[in-house]
Amino acid sequence: MNIQSELLTSLKAEVRIIQIISYETLRIQAELIHAVEELEYELLIWDRVEGIRRWDGENRCFGEPDGHENPADILNYFIEECSDKTLLLLQDFYPDFTEDKPKIIRTLRNIALNMNGQKTLVLSQPHHQLPKELEKEVQVIELPYPSFADIKAIYSAVCENYHIAEIEPHDELIEAAMGLTTMEAERAFAKAYMQDKELTTAQIPAIIKEKENIIKKSGFLEYYHPAETLADIGGLERLKDWLKKRERGFDKYAKEFGLDTPKGILLLGIPGTGKSLTAKAIGSEWQFPLLRLDMGKIFGGIVGESEQNIRAALGIAEAIAPSILWIDEIEKGMSGISSSGNTDGGTTARVLGTFLTWMQEKTKPVFVVATANNISQLPPELLRKGRVDEIFFVDLPTAKERETIISIHLKRKNRNPQEFDLKALSKMSKGFSGAELEEAIKEALFQAYDTGEELATEHIKDAITKTFPLAKTMQEVIENMRNWAKARAVMASADTPEQLETNGQEKIPKLKQEQYNNPFI
C-alpha cells in the first residue's frame, strides 16, 4: 500500500493518532494536503515556534500563525475547539513524550481511546520515538524514500533556485539521486551544479559519489563497485550456473513469461571459500548497484534505533532497485535471537522479523545475497523454505577446483599458469580454502622476490607446506557443517568434496591459552 492510500484508509477508519517517520517535512505536508483535499478535511499544522497555521487551499499556502505555541495548549485546543473533519499535524512534538510530561502522554492516550468525532492527529518526526503507553494506540507509518517523480520535482526546484534553464532531464540523472532523501537530493544536485555550472548527465558521477558518501555515513551500508566477475571464481559451478539463469529473471519479458523475480540466496559455508567474492561478482555481472550491509552495525543503543536502521537499509536498497543487497555475515548480531525477549527487550527478534517480512513481501527487485560462516548461530526462521530462493553450501574446493583457483590467482599476478605444475600444487594443498591458496601464492611471490628469482612451482610448494589450513584446526566443525548441509542446502560445487584427513597424526600447533581448560589463564 502506498502512503497516500494508507493515509486515506486510516482517516476513513477514524484512526485518532498517526505517526509519520521521516526527515522530509515538505513531503509529509504534501501527502496530508492531498489526503485532506480528497476527503474534504480541514488541515492545521503546528510547530513549537510558529504555533498553529491553517492550510489555505485556495491560495495553496499555510496562513498566518494563530498562537498556541505551547504543546499542552495545542492538545486542549484540538480536543475542545477543532471541529469534525480536522486533521492536525504536529511537527516534532516528540520532545514532549518524556516521562516528566505524564499529563501530555495521558492526554494523547485519551485522544486515542475516547475522543469522539472525525478528528485525527498526525505526529511527524525524523525518528521512531513513542512512549510505551501509546505504542498500541498509534498507527506508525514510515515515509518511503522519494520516488522518481519526487526526485524529478526536486530537480525542477533546484533548476528554478539557481536559474538554470530547465531541460527535460535524462532519466539517468534522476535515477542517480534515487536512494537519497529530498534534502539530500537537493544538496547533491546543487553541489554538482556549483562545481560544473551545469546539471546534465555529465554530473551523474558527482551525484553518485555524493550518494555513496551519504549512504556510507549511515555506518551500516556501503556502496561497492566490484571488478570481480564470475570468471574470477574457481569452481562453484552449480552456484554459477544457477546465477546465470536467474540474471534473466530481471529482464522485462521474464514476468510476462511467468517467472518470479529472484528474491535472493543464502550462502553458507567455510570461511575463505568465495562467498563474498560471489556477492561481488553478481554485482558486476548483473550491473546492478551493490550495497553491503553490515548486520553487526545495525544494532544501536537507543530504543527503536536498530529497527529503524534495518528499515532504512531496506528502504535505500528498494529506492535504488534493481539492486543487490549483500548481507555479509548475517549471523552477526543474530546470535541472541532465542533469548532476545529476555536479554535485549526483543530487539534482535524484531530486527529479524522486519527483515523476514520484507523478504516475504518485497515487490521491488532487490536481490539479497546473505553470507554466513557460522551456521549454528543462524536463526532457524531464516532457513525455512521460501525465505530465499535457494540455500547454497560452499565447501572447501576439490582438487580440480584448487587447480582452477591457483591458476586464477597466478593470472591475476600476470603469471602464465601453464608454466606451473598445477596438479602437484593442487594435490599437496588438500583442505586449503580459496583464500588460503591465494595467500600461499602471495607468500611465494615474496619469497621469490627476496631471493631474486622468478616465481616457480617450488616457491608455491614451499608456502603451502608452511601453511596450516583452517580445515585442520576446524575439522570437526567442517564435518558437522557438511552433515548439516547435506539435508538442507544445495552444494555450490558440482563435485563431491574430499574427505578431510582424520588420522590425527599431524600435530596441530595450539596457542598457550588453548592448552588449558581454565578460562582465567
Closer by beta carbon to ligand ATP, 119 or else 332? 332
- In angstroms, the first-to-last Cα distance of the chain is 58
Closer by beta carbon to ligand ATP, 179 or else 235? 235
Q: Which of the ranges 44-52, 148-156, 228-236, 376-384 carries the binding residues for ligand ATP, by CB under 6 A?
A: 228-236
Per CB under 6 A, does 406 bind ligand ATP?
no
Per CB under 6 A, does 179 bind ligand ATP?
no
Q: Which of the ranges 2-10, 29-37, 56-64, 227-235 carries the binding residues for ligand ATP, by CB under 6 A?
A: 227-235
Q: Are 455 and 256 in contact (CB under 8 A)?
A: no
With the C-alpha atoms ordered 357, 361, 362, 368, is the resulting torsion angle positive or negative? Answer: positive
> 340 to 369, contacts with ligand ATP by CB under 6 A?
none
> Helices 182-196 and 148-161, interaxial angle, to 10°?
40
Closer by beta carbon to ligand ATP, 119 or else 275? 275
Q: From CA 105, how far away is CA 100, in angstroms rounded?
A: 10
Binding residue for ligand ATP (CB under 6 A) from 51, 131, 179, 235?
235
**51-56 and 61-62 beta bridge pairing:** antiparallel
How many residues touch ligand ATP under the rule CB under 6 A: the total is 19
Residue type, 136: K
Whole-number minimum distance, CB 398 to ligand ATP, in Å? 11
Peptide bond into 126 cis (omega under 30): no
Closer by beta carbon to ligand ATP, 412 or else 488? 412
Retrieve residue 430's grid coordinates: 588438500
Binding residue for ligand ATP (CB under 6 A) from 234, 289, 431, 469?
234
Which position's Cβ is nearest ligand ATP?
Answer: 434
493 closest CA partner among 130, 239, 313, 124: 239
Query: How many CA atoms does the CB half-sphere of 499 hold within 13 Å?
Result: 3
Per CB under 6 A, does 485 bind ligand ATP?
no
Closer by beta carbon to ligand ATP, 182 or else 371? 371
Q: From CA 416, how far away is CA 420, in angstroms rounded?
A: 8
Per CB under 6 A, does 373 bind ligand ATP?
yes
Per CB under 6 A, does 272 bind ligand ATP?
yes
Q: Which of the ranges 274-282, 456-464, 473-481, 496-504 carries the binding residues for ligand ATP, by CB under 6 A?
A: 274-282
Q: From CA 41, how far away is CA 89, in angstroms rounded?
A: 12
Whole-number minimum distance, CB 282 to ligand ATP, in Å? 12
Closer by beta carbon to ligand ATP, 27 or else 275? 275
Whole-angstrom CA distances from 416 to 62, 408, 413, 422, 455 are 73, 10, 9, 11, 10
> 39 to 78, contacts with ligand ATP by CB under 6 A?
none
Retrieve residue 360's grid coordinates: 516475504
Closer by beta carbon to ligand ATP, 212 or else 438? 438
B/e letters for 145-161, b = 16+ CB within 10 Å, e = fewer, are bbeeebbbbbbebbbee
Whole-number minimum distance, CB 281 to ligand ATP, in Å? 9
Per CB under 6 A, does 226 bind ligand ATP?
no
Per CB under 6 A, does 277 bind ligand ATP?
yes
Number of residues that make up the chain: 521
> 430 to 459, contacts with ligand ATP by CB under 6 A?
434-435, 438
Q: Which helix (H) or strand (E) holds 347?
A: helix 347-361
Q: From CA 325, how far away is CA 393, in angstroms rounded?
A: 19
CB atoms closer than 10 angstroms to residue 416:
9
Q: Are 29 and 37 in contact (CB under 8 A)?
A: no
Q: Which of the ranges 66-74, 105-113, 172-180, 265-273 carries the binding residues for ligand ATP, by CB under 6 A?
A: 265-273
Binding residue for ligand ATP (CB under 6 A) from 16, 53, 109, 275?
275
Closer by beta carbon to ligand ATP, 223 or else 326? 326
Whole-number minimum distance, CB 435 to ligand ATP, in Å? 3
Per CB under 6 A, does 408 bind ligand ATP?
yes
Peptide bond into 322 cis (omega under 30): yes
- Interface residues with ligand ATP (CB under 6 A)? 233-236, 271-277, 371, 373, 397, 405, 408, 434-435, 438
